[in-house]
A = this chain, B = another copy of it.
Amino acid sequence: MRISDLDTPALTCDLDIVEHNIATYQRLISEAGLAIRPHIKTHKVPAIAHMQLAAGAIGICCQKVTEAEVFVAAGIKDVLISYNLIGKLKLERLNRLARQADVKVAIDSAYTAQGISAQAAEDGVEVGILIELMMGNRSGVATPQDAVELGRLVTELPGLKLRGLMGYPTGPAPECLGFFDATIKAFRREGLCLDIVSGGGTNSSWEAAPERAVGFTEHRPGTYIYHDWSQVQRNAHVTLEDCALRVICTVVSRPTPDIATIDGGSKTLTNEGFHIAGLEPNRVVEYPAARMIGQNEEHGILDVSACPRKPELGERVTVIPYHACVVTNLHDEVVGVRGGEVEAIWPILARGKVR
């Protein structure tokens, strides 16, 4: 079966590129002296996580306990849930996983620590804890001193085992590194555990050596597995040829000579990438001069006025999505292709795991 036999829209990933990306980042991060713990939010597919582990990854990272369930059920034994888990239903699920795998959870508050501790004590399990440092404005403790205080609390609470620190560097790199550096030094002074010091993600993978220098132990890239059009536009290390995730679409309408409407709209591609100054949403491989000027849920509207040849009705085009991670959450399966042939059809088992 070939790509051309798939009905559209079809979510595909090029397996040669996936393998190339795995090898590239495994080498890059290993050479910086760090372990690699891929964030699975980009692909959400256990088979791909196993490819990452086979190449040398030490485990995976995810955000939700229901995602962790999918990957632990697929035989993965080292999981970091980089998210404050709150509420009895989630914590009971967490503790069931803690019996099956080495599961660690990131926290940023005494409230979260006490909740996990109480349920762990009740269920008779021990949960590994990383303290999350605030690198943007969404979550994390704000100062090294806050991290130390929370780390101390974790060592005192039953059912918890302090394992170290984590952060997702969304702010300026020197500030993020500086915060880690100061916190690592404070943890050392206090004798607090630093077995795991975890940073990320894809874009900072090319500057991982300074992370190693301040004491990081591991790096958590996610999007590198597929890359996307956002990264091509923003990261000089990433080219269109590195983009494995491609959505095959069909031209379903040519309402005017300058418009070609495809069957990939926001329900297929999300609407990310619109309204970002200087950046273009989704790229059409065969028509690089086409511009996606609008979307409805089922319509992608391409301005093809600058294309020397215009796409015809019924023609198939290949779209590189702006943001890979959010696109895989919309689809039930991804088709692995190699040289135009369908090699695998993977259910996206961790799709839609909102809890």
Contact = CB atoms under 8 A, between A and B. Distances in A.
Interface of A: 7-10, 41, 63-64, 83-84, 86-87, 89-90, 108-109, 111-112, 115, 134, 137-142, 250, 252-256, 259, 261, 263, 266-268, 270-272, 274-275, 294, 296-299, 301, 313-314, 325-326, 329-332, 351-352, 354-355
A175 B304 CA distance: 25
Which residue of A134, A271, A272 has the most chain B CB atoms within 10 A of its CB atom?
Answer: A271
Contacts of A330: 329-330, 352, 354
Dominant SS among interface residues on chain A: loop
A184 to B, nearest CB: 20
A335 to B, nearest CB: 12
Nearest to A293: B137
28 contacts: A7-B87, A9-B354, A63-B297, A63-B298, A64-B298, A84-B253, A86-B314, A87-B314, A109-B253, A111-B313, A111-B314, A137-B294, A138-B255, A138-B301, A139-B253, A139-B255, A139-B261, A266-B270, A267-B326, A267-B329, A267-B354, A270-B271, A297-B326, A331-B352, A331-B354, A332-B352, A351-B352, A352-B352
A218 B83 CA distance: 49
Contacts of A115: 314
A256 B134 CA distance: 10
Contacts of A313: 86, 109, 111-112
Given A86-B314, A266-B270, A275-B275, 10 more contacts: A7-B89, A84-B253, A111-B314, A112-B313, A115-B314, A140-B253, A141-B255, A266-B326, A271-B271, A297-B325
Which 8 residue pairs spanning A and B have beta carbons closest together? A139-B253, A275-B275, A7-B89, A84-B252, A111-B313, A138-B299, A63-B298, A134-B255
A58 to B, nearest CB: 22
Contacts of A296: 138
Contacts of A90: 7
A298 B82 CA distance: 11
A275 B254 CA distance: 28
Which residue of A134, A250, A253, A268 has the most chain B CB atoms within 10 A of its CB atom?
Answer: A253
A183 B267 CA distance: 31
A93 to B, nearest CB: 9
Contacts of A89: 7
Contacts of A64: 298
Given A64-B298, A314-B111, A138 B253 contact: yes
Nearest to A89: B7
B63 A142 contact: no
Nearest to A111: B313
A142 B84 CA distance: 53
A221 to B, nearest CB: 15
A86 B138 contact: no
